[in-house]
Amino acid sequence: MPYSLRRRLLVWLLVPLVIMGLIALADTYREAVNTANAVSDRVLAGSALAIAERIVVAENGMLEVDVPYVALEMLTSAAQDRVFYRVDGPSGVFITGYQTLPVIKGLAREESGYADGSFRGEPIRLTSLSRAASTGASSVPFVVTVAETTIARSQLARTILLRSALRLAILIGGAAAIVWLAVTFSLRPLYRLRDAIAERNPDDLHPIEQSVPKEVRGLVDTVNSFMGRLGSALGAMRHFTGNASHQLRTPLAIIRTQLALSARARSIEEARHAAAIGDEAIAHAERVIAQLLLLAKVDEALSDRLKSLGAINLTELAQTLTADFVAHARSAGIDLGFEGERSLFVRGEPMLLSEMIRNLIENVLAYAGSGTEATVKVFGSGADVVLEVEDTGPGIAADRLDSVRQRFVRGDAGGKPGAGLGLPIVEEIGALFGGRLDLSAGKDDRGLRVRVTFSTANRDQPRTKVR
């Protein structure tokens, strides 16, 4: 399913930003609470100290407290916080204030402390201050506790948090807008590339010369390479189709001519003669069609690269096929034999290798001529495996050995029928399995020697048996 690159980039940017923002807000809230406590705790401590300084020892030895209400007014705020205090004498004896107000226990003399608590169902922040009032001869210890509700503190922390969240939201929104604009402008070369390709004629396969970012240059180069290969393939297909139609047009014309002659024949012999010629043309057309289908199969195999290949006993395969053609060769006056004693293996596909060998043998039977000899050989040459077919026929002129490798190009066939596809099929199948085709004159410069050398031979035990 297609997706938006712009949207994906935004998600990749915004999700981490939001996560980091939430972490930052949590840390900001903690710092805001600490800051609000630090500010308010100083005021609490000042109020407790102001009360402690107004505590004296009376003549009867009891503590007297003159609470300076200005000390409590220091804690008033717009948040309507409530303030509570308490003074305790020696051994925790309550003297004045709110008797049920919590007190921080365990304070040493001249020590103070802070704590959170609850009073009358409301959360409070309190401080306790331990002091002693002097009588001259001795001193009387006491503890002053001052507390206030936490409304102002919470409001201050929330205000800090909200302002931080607002700044962070503006930052994330600005980053998203910048990324959106940046991606939009960065994708403009791709839009121009799309428009340039869309405006092209379907037959226009010349390289794309549109200016694109270097990150996309590799993609454009790949597309250019693909269009180059596609242009070559289309050109080869047009050439192949034209030649194929020409090769099939000739036997079809012959068939129609012979049918017309047989219809006007004055005797049964003339009709049979026309039918025989038409039958030969049909056989030739069938052979051309079979070879064209085989070439199409080879092209399909080339595109698939035949990823899984077995080890084929080339010696056994060639010997079996040679034996199948011995009777046909004898009727054509050709002495067909085989040489190859030990099993040699190549990696390949049995059906295609069989077609390659069959084409070599059929070429010999078609063009070597009566009274000639032909030998199919399989032998090792160093690390290579060689398939060779040699005959003592008329051969091919040296200046035409390269041209006969091309499709629909024939050697000097002496008027014999043929499509010029046999050797190209052999070369393409051989190349498919790592083979190399070589053409040369035979022994004593007589006939033709066709050799296919498999340089990537596998001499291990076979995984595919040819029966």
Task: Give the pLDDT band of residue 76 (cuts 50, 70, 90).
Answer: low
Beta bridge partners, 385, equal: 380, 454
Output the pLDDT for position 466.
36
| Residues 81, 100: Cα–Cα separation, whole Å | 18
83-88: strand order across its sheet: 94-97, 83-88, 139-149, 122-134, 112-119
Output the pLDDT for position 257.
85
Output the pLDDT for position 348.
84
- What number is the average pLDDT over the span 114-127? 91
Which tens digits make up the pLDDT trace of 379-414? 998 889 999 999 998 888 877 877 777 765 665 544
- What number is the average pLDDT over the span 106-124? 89
Instruction: Output the six-digit token pair for 202.
Output: 């379907």
Domain with CATH 3.30.450 in the chain: 5-158
Output the pLDDT for position 275.
84
Beta bridge partners, 379, equal: 386
> pTM above the 0.95 mark?
no
Q: Higher pLDDT residue, 292 or 164?
A: 164
Residue 441 phi, psi (nearest 5)? -70, 155
Which tens digits make up the pLDDT trace of 327-384? 999 998 999 999 987 889 998 888 888 888 988 898 888 888 889 999 999 999 888 9
Q: How many CB atoms lie within 10 A of CB 108?
A: 6
Output the pLDDT for position 450.
92
Output the pLDDT for position 322.
94
- What number is the average pLDDT over the span 35-47? 85
Mean pLDDT of the chain: 81
Task: Give the pLDDT band of residue 250 (cuts 50, 70, 90).
Answer: low
| Residues 436, 449: Cα–Cα separation, whole Å | 14
Output the pLDDT for position 88.
92
Query: What CATH number is given for 214-303 in this structure?
Result: 1.10.287.130
Domain with CATH 3.30.565.10 in the chain: 307-454
Q: Higher pLDDT residue, 390 or 262?
A: 390
| Residues 81, 142: Cα–Cα separation, whole Å | 26
Beta bridge partners, 390, equal: 375, 449
Output the pLDDT for position 458.
45
Output the pLDDT for position 361.
92
- What number is the average pLDDT over the span 143-151? 90
Three-state DSSP string of 387-435: EEEEECCCCCCHHHCCHHHCCCCCCCCCCCCCCCCHHHHHHHHHHHCCE
Residue 317 phi, psi (nearest 5)? -65, -50
Domain with CATH 1.10.287.130 in the chain: 214-303
- What number is the average pLDDT over the span 148-167? 87
Print burial letters for 52-83: b (CB count within 10 Å at least 16), e (below 16). Answer: beebebeeeeebebebeeebbebbebeeebeb
Calculate Rg over the CA atoms of the chain: 52
Output the pLDDT for position 302.
53
Task: Give the pLDDT band of residue 126 (cuts 50, 70, 90).
Answer: very high
Nearest partner of 147 among 116, 112, 188, judged by Cα: 116
Helices first, then strands: H and E counts in the chain: 9, 14
- Using alpha carbons, list the distances in angstroms from residue 46 to 38, 123, 146, 147, 384: 13, 21, 10, 12, 102
β-pair type (372-381, 334-339) = parallel
- What sign results for the dihedral spanned by CA atoms 111, 113, 119, 124? positive
The one-character DSSP state at 203 is: T
For residue 462, pLDDT beyond 70: no
Output the pLDDT for position 74.
61
Output the pLDDT for position 409.
63
Fill in the amino acid letter for 354.
Answer: S
Q: Higher pLDDT residue, 278 or 418?
A: 278
Q: How far does Cα 249 stand from its chain's mean position?
A: 48
Dihedral, CA of residue 263, residue 266, residue 270 and residue 271, to nearest 10: 30
| Residues 2, 218: Cα–Cα separation, whole Å | 21
Output the pLDDT for position 242.
65
Task: Give the pLDDT band of residue 459 (cuts 50, 70, 90).
Answer: very low
The one-character DSSP state at 20 is: H
Residue 395 phi, psi (nearest 5)? 70, -165
Task: Give the pLDDT band of residue 419 (cuts 50, 70, 90).
Answer: low
Output the pLDDT for position 407.
62
Task: Give the pLDDT band of residue 280 (cuts 50, 70, 90).
Answer: confident
- 379: part of which helix (H) or strand (E)? strand 372-381
Fill in the amino acid letter for 200.
Answer: R
For residue 143, pLDDT beyond 90: yes
Instruction: Please state which CATH class domain 5-158 belongs to.
Output: alpha beta
Output the pLDDT for position 296.
62
Domain 307-454 has CATH 3.30.565.10: yes
Which tens digits make up the pLDDT trace of 83-108? 898 999 888 889 988 999 999 988 88
Q: How far does Cα 125 stand from its chain's mean position?
A: 60
Q: 47-56, 65-74, 391-400: which range is least confident on average?
A: 65-74
Instruction: Output the six-digit token pair for 325.
Output: 């053609």
Output the pLDDT for position 221.
86
Nearest partner of 390 among 402, 378, 404, 405, judged by Cα: 378
- Using alpha carbons, list the distances in angstroms from residue 96 to 55, 85, 102, 117, 223: 11, 8, 14, 20, 92
Output the pLDDT for position 243.
59
Q: CB within 8 A of 25, min separation 6: which ones?
A: 161, 164, 165, 168
Which tens digits make up the pLDDT trace of 282-303? 876 777 677 666 666 665 555 4
Fill in the amino acid letter for 438.
Answer: D
For residue 3, pLDDT beyond 80: no
- What number is the average pLDDT over the span 72-88? 74
Q: Tell me what percent of the residues of the chain surpass a pLDDT of 90.
A: 19
For residue 79, pLDDT beyond 80: no
Task: Give the pLDDT band of residue 467 (cuts 50, 70, 90).
Answer: very low
Output the pLDDT for position 301.
56
| Residues 45, 74: Cα–Cα separation, whole Å | 11
